[in-house]
Amino acid sequence: MTKISIHNNTFTLQPTGTMYWEQREILFIADVHLGKVAHFRKHGSAVPQQAILKNFEQLDAAISCCNPQEVCFLGDLFHSALNTEWLYFEKWVEQQEAKITLVAGNHDIINPLQFTGIGIEIFQERILDTFLLTHIPEERDGLFNFCGHIHPGVKLQGVGRQLLKMPCFFKKPNQLILPAFGEFTGKYILEPEAHDEVFVVTPDEVILVE
């Protein structure tokens, strides 16, 4: 885990690709894209059924690291319309002690009543203290933006000139983009500029490389 300080608040970047806000006890998760596996399987792709359960196992692992009071999904919780993965999600929500909220993303096309019906509060955007929570990256004077959407990744030179593409937390002076959490989400390679910081996510740790 890697701790960073923003606006006198402490945030922990976790190897699960999630971020924990210590002062408010909120765990942030971006771009889970539940339903994507079932969507692919429905259209004939050879994706194993076990991949559906993998997302929920990873969610449980992320939550167990910090036992948050709230889990806030920063958009694209679901990939598409309702499918069989919603039933898994309903059961998962029933087992959670933390409050669950969603900042809606462009893929979240499911009727909001489906979410509110199981106790999930939905926002189009959210401001907490001096922090702006959105799905798509935004810049707004006086606020630091936490977001997703991009699925950020970075290229690293490995041993023997091997080129690795790794997910990352991508931090700009007034913004931090979380990596995509879900299976089969892909990565969009970003090139850091001056004053940007890149925190690479590995299975065991988060490493600052820029």
pLDDT of residue 198: 97
How far is the C-alpha of 109 from the C-alpha of 89, rounded, in Å?
A: 16
- Cα 135 from chain centroid? 10
Count of the separate structural domains present in the chain = 1
Range of the domain at 169: 2-208
Task: Say whether pLDDT at 160 is over 80.
Answer: no
pLDDT tier, 55 (very low <50, low <70, confident <90, very high otherwise): confident
With 0.75 as the threshold, say if the pTM is over it.
yes
CATH code of the domain covering residue 94:
3.60.21
In terms of Cβ atoms closer than 10 Å to its own Cβ (0-12, 13-18, 19+), residue 184 is middle
Reported as a pLDDT band with limits 50, 70 and 90, residue 50 is: low
Which residue in 194, 193, 197 sits closest to 209, CA to CA?
197
Per-residue pLDDT reduced to its tens digit, 165-203: 899 999 999 999 999 997 667 788 999 999 999 999 999
Distance between CA atoms of 39 and 14, rounded to whole angstroms? Answer: 28
Which tens digit of pLDDT belongs to each residue from 119-157?
999 999 999 999 999 999 999 999 999 999 999 999 887
Q: Has residue 24 got a pLDDT over 50? A: yes
Round the average pLDDT of the chain to a whole number and report it.
Answer: 89
